Amino acid sequence: MELREYQRDAVAPALRGRNCIVWLPTGAGKTRAAVHVCRRHLESRRGGRVAVLVNKVHLVEQHAKKEFHVLQDAFRVTAVSGDSSHKVFFASVVRQSDVVICTAQILQNALVSAQEDERLELTDFSLLVIDECHHTHKEAIYNKIMVNYLQRKLSGQQELPQVLGLTASPGTGGATSFEGAVQHILQLCANLDTDTITSAQEEAEQQVQSHVPEPRKQYDLCQERAQDPFGERLKEVMERIQQYMEIPSLPQDFGTQVYEQRIVELENRAAETLCRRTRVCALHLRKYNDALLINDTVRMVDAFQCLQQFYDTQKDTKDPTERFLSATFEENRATLQELAGDRRYQNPRLDKLEAILREHFQPLGASRGIVFTKTRQSARSLLSWLQDTATLCGPHIRAAVLTGAGYSNQTRPMTQNEQQDVIKLFRNGTLNLLFSTSVAEEGLDIPECNIVVRYGLMTNEIAMMQAQGRARAENSVYFVLAKANSREVSRELLNEELVELMERAIRAVQAMPEQEYHLKIRELQQAAIATWLMKEAMISERQQQHDPDTVHLYCVNCGVVVCCGGDIRTVDGMHHVNVNPSFGLHYRVSSGKIQFQRAFKDWEPGCRIACGECSQDWGMEMLYRHVKLPILCIKNFVVETPAEKRRYKKWSAVTFPIKEFDYVEYCSSTYGQSF
């Protein structure tokens, strides 16, 4: 495998066995250079083993098929992700492989596993390659693995694996000063235990630029709608709901992220005090606010459909608040629908996008582009808009949506297979335009685009650089499409300054005297471990605060008490189930099993479960070794301890200990048989 001169420069320390971060632009061939390091490492080290870690499932197959497959001529290469059958036997797969490409979470699970046959040690590997290594910070999964590594290193353990980090965009970690940016780069180097951060030498910079052309950046700014009667009508409805709530000093900044934050806080407080009327109103206000945000981003009709779908789903008609809110929407439905169809009030941002696409996607052209937008909802709405726009219809624009695979209340996530299908079609030219969320910004091997549009996005400098890196074709253009004088434009301009600041900080760290650098790295590592251990101790202490039998769980919607903390157990350390047989009296089971794309080791998903009183979603049933157990989603409950009533987003934050599920004990007590 022949490397370019700048790639050889960047991996030279890694080839000498040193820990390093390779910093090269998107498209410059970092992964290819890493494959070269892996080959040399395995050739020179008998019994060596490499783990290539990625932070997104879809990158596992991509790396295996596009880059690391070339090692199969001499080495055993295996790809394992959360969606693959190998995951169940990960430890044994690792022991039979020379190179394992996997999501970081799978390796972390194996490192902390209590099961002897499922457990791995860091010393089972001789090289860790960490893709998109700028994510090695705070509570991120990469950092959990590296904290384990650093603890062992600082305690004097030998034979730890070499570390190779890859990134195009270390960022500034939120710092806006030079000193802060340098500190961020040093912290990243400390977290990854790197001796150096490498990049192309000055004389090779020209070669990098010839292989990775810089796109031309263009700001396309539009004005607010001159009139927005649809949006005004939504705000009038919101005011009416707030009057019904009879709570003084409610926020009035409708259609903003700030309003959403405040209304979510109100909903949480209402749930914790079991004030159903306020909570239900807050939920509906949030949906109206979503509609205003959609109206601002895409079309009125998309915003109307979002509300209509919400009100068409079954509501608890016994509740007077639900009846009032449904009646209020019904009174305004016809007017809102009529206004939504009035083209005089179309979004000016869409006019700008139409002009860009018309200019660059000519009938005989060969353009390829990505439009980045904030939410899955807006990505789907933009595709729908394109299909309804006469000037953009035709065989010269072949578009699809590409969004994330994580769960969302708003819109259905794409499965990993659906993502792969879309990327494959985009790669071979069957598709030439994607409406995408941030899933396509980082790591994905998508062919060179000549048009990248950032559609009303406000993100940090890392996301900006990643999106810009998608425009790799000659004479490509990177559009920033936003409202004039908006926060999005201000942030984009700040991001440009932060990228320059990041580059200066990296150069400063590279130029540090070796002794000074290593002293700083050591200090940062010791501080990081001390902080981590303190945090672990605090978490452990917090989880022992209350006796589980003194804790009660209430339905978040209707406030009925449904179980106590002592009824909860964990299955495989992650699924929280209720083992009290009488708990089944409190919930209803929906028809039809939940479908997942992958199989699980000891269990399979059952049906959704909901409150028997008010139909609030609670979670789902699992079939664990032929035993039905209800898995509870903590955010659907209010937890009452002797100290307070509270809502939690994660089970890990609760203040009482939860035992691991004992299958034999459960069968004995439930079915009255001794085993």
For 250-261, how does the pLDDT look when each residue is reduced to its tens digit (9 = 90+)? 999 999 999 999
Tokens standing for 46?
């008998």
Query: Cα(251)–Cα(239) distance, rounded to whole angstroms?
Result: 10
**pLDDT-above-90 percentage for the chain:** 78
> What pLDDT is attached to residue 209?
79
Other beta carbons within 10 angstroms of residue 86's beta carbon come to: 17
> What pLDDT is attached to residue 313?
82
Task: Please give the DSSP secondary-structure letter assigned to residue 583.
Answer: G
Task: Please give the DSSP secondary-structure letter assigned to residue 234.
Answer: H
pLDDT of residue 292 exceeding 60: yes
pLDDT of residue 88 exceeding 80: no
Kindly state the average pLDDT of the residues 512-524. Answer: 97
Query: Cα(83)–Cα(80) distance, rounded to whole angstroms?
Result: 8
> What pLDDT is attached to residue 115?
85
Query: What residues have CB less than 8 Å from 232, skipping those under 6 apart?
Result: none
The owner of tokens 């979004």 is: 347
Other beta carbons within 10 angstroms of residue 349's beta carbon come to: 22
Our measurement of the distance from residue 532's CA atom to the centroid of its chain's CA atoms, rounded to an integer in Å, reads: 23
Q: Which residue has the higher pLDDT, 89 or 441?
A: 89
> What pLDDT is attached to residue 593?
84
- The runs of H, that is alpha helices, within 69-118 are 90-95, 104-112
> What pLDDT is attached to residue 211?
82
- The runs of H, that is alpha helices, within 481-580 are 487-510, 514-542
DSSP 638-675: EEE-SS-EE--S-GGG-SS--EEP-HHHHHHHHH----
pLDDT class of 316 with cuts at 50, 70, 90: low
Kindly state the average pLDDT of the residues 97-114. Answer: 95
Residue 128, CA atoms < 13 Å, CB-side half-sphere: 28
> What pLDDT is attached to residue 84?
59
Query: Cα(672)–Cα(396) distance, rounded to whole angstroms?
Result: 69
Q: Could you tell me the CA-to-CA distances from 251 to 85, 238, 286, 373, 539 in Å, in that order?
A: 50, 11, 12, 27, 35
Q: Which residue has the higher pLDDT, 249 or 516?
A: 516
Q: For residue range 595-630, what is the model confidence (pLDDT) as tens digits?
A: 776 667 788 999 999 999 989 999 999 999 989 999
The owner of tokens 């305690």 is: 155
- The runs of H, that is alpha helices, within 16-154 are 30-44, 58-66, 90-95, 104-112, 141-154
pLDDT of residue 410 exceeding 60: no
pLDDT of residue 78 exceeding 80: yes
Tokens standing for 147?
């904290």
Tokens standing for 287?
């949906």
> What pLDDT is attached to residue 319?
86
pLDDT of residue 670 exceeding 90: no
pLDDT of residue 550 exceeding 90: yes
Which of 28-32, 54-58, 146-150, 457-461 tops mean pLDDT? 146-150
Counting DSSP H helices and E strands in the chain, the numbers are 20, 24
pLDDT of residue 409 exceeding 60: no
Kindly state the average pLDDT of the residues 567-593. Answer: 93
Which one-letter amino acid corresponds to residue 27? G
> What pLDDT is attached to residue 363?
77
Q: For residue range 416-447, what is the model confidence (pLDDT) as tens digits?
A: 788 889 988 998 899 999 999 987 777 666 76
Query: Cα(193)–Cα(162) distance, rounded to whole angstroms?
Result: 9
> What pLDDT is attached to residue 82?
67
Kindly state the average pLDDT of the residues 15-34. Answer: 95
Task: Please give the DSSP secondary-structure letter assigned to residue 391.
Answer: G
> What pLDDT is attached to residue 281?
97
**Spatial contact of 382 and 433, defined as CB atoms under 8 Å apart:** no
Task: Name the average pLDDT for the chain.
Answer: 92
**Spatial contact of 579 and 604, defined as CB atoms under 8 Å apart:** no
pLDDT class of 207 with cuts at 50, 70, 90: confident
> What pLDDT is attached to residue 147?
98
> What pLDDT is attached to residue 315?
67
pLDDT of residue 203 exceeding 60: yes
Tell me whether residue 132 is exposed, middle or buried, using C-beta atoms within 10 angstroms of its C-beta: 0 to 12, 13 to 18, 19 or more.
buried
User: Which residues sit opposite 164 in a β-bridge?
Assistant: 20, 129
Query: Cα(613)–Cα(423) distance, rounded to whole angstroms?
Result: 45
Q: Which residue has the higher pLDDT, 200 or 522?
A: 522
